Amino acid sequence: MKKIRVALCALTVGLGVLAVPSPAMASAWSCPAGFLCVYKDANGQGSRWTWLGGDEQLNFNDGTKYFDGTSLNDSISSIFNNSNYAAKFCTDKNFGGHCLVYPAHSKTAQVYYNEQYSSMTTV
Which range of residues in 6-14, 19-27, 32-40, 109-117 is near Ca ion by CB under 5 A?
109-117
Number of residues that bind Ca ion (CB under 5 A): 4
Query: Residue 52: exposed, middle, or buried by beta-carbon count in 10 A (0-12, 13-18, 19+)?
Result: exposed
Q: Which is nearer to Ca ion, 12 or 116 (CB)?
A: 116
Contacts of Ca ion in 18-37 (CB under 5 A) = none
CA atoms of 32 and 37, how far apart (whole Å):
8
Q: Assess 116 for contact with Ca ion (CB under 5 A).
A: yes
Q: How far is the CB of 68 from Ca ion (least distance, A)?
A: 19
Report which of 119, 45, 120, 121 is spatially closest to residue 80, judged by C-alpha positions: 45
Q: Assess 82 for contact with Ca ion (CB under 5 A).
A: no
Q: Assess 118 for contact with Ca ion (CB under 5 A).
A: yes
Q: What are phi and psi of 23, to 5 degrees?
A: -55, -40
Contacts of Ca ion in 57-76 (CB under 5 A) = 74
Q: Assess 122 for contact with Ca ion (CB under 5 A).
A: no
CA atoms of 117 and 14, how far apart (whole Å):
37
Q: Which residue is nearest to Ca ion (CB)?
A: 118
Q: Helix-strand-coil percent breakdown of the chain, rounded to 5?
A: 20, 30, 50
Q: Assess 91 for contact with Ca ion (CB under 5 A).
A: yes
Binding site for Ca ion (CB under 5 A): 74, 91, 116, 118
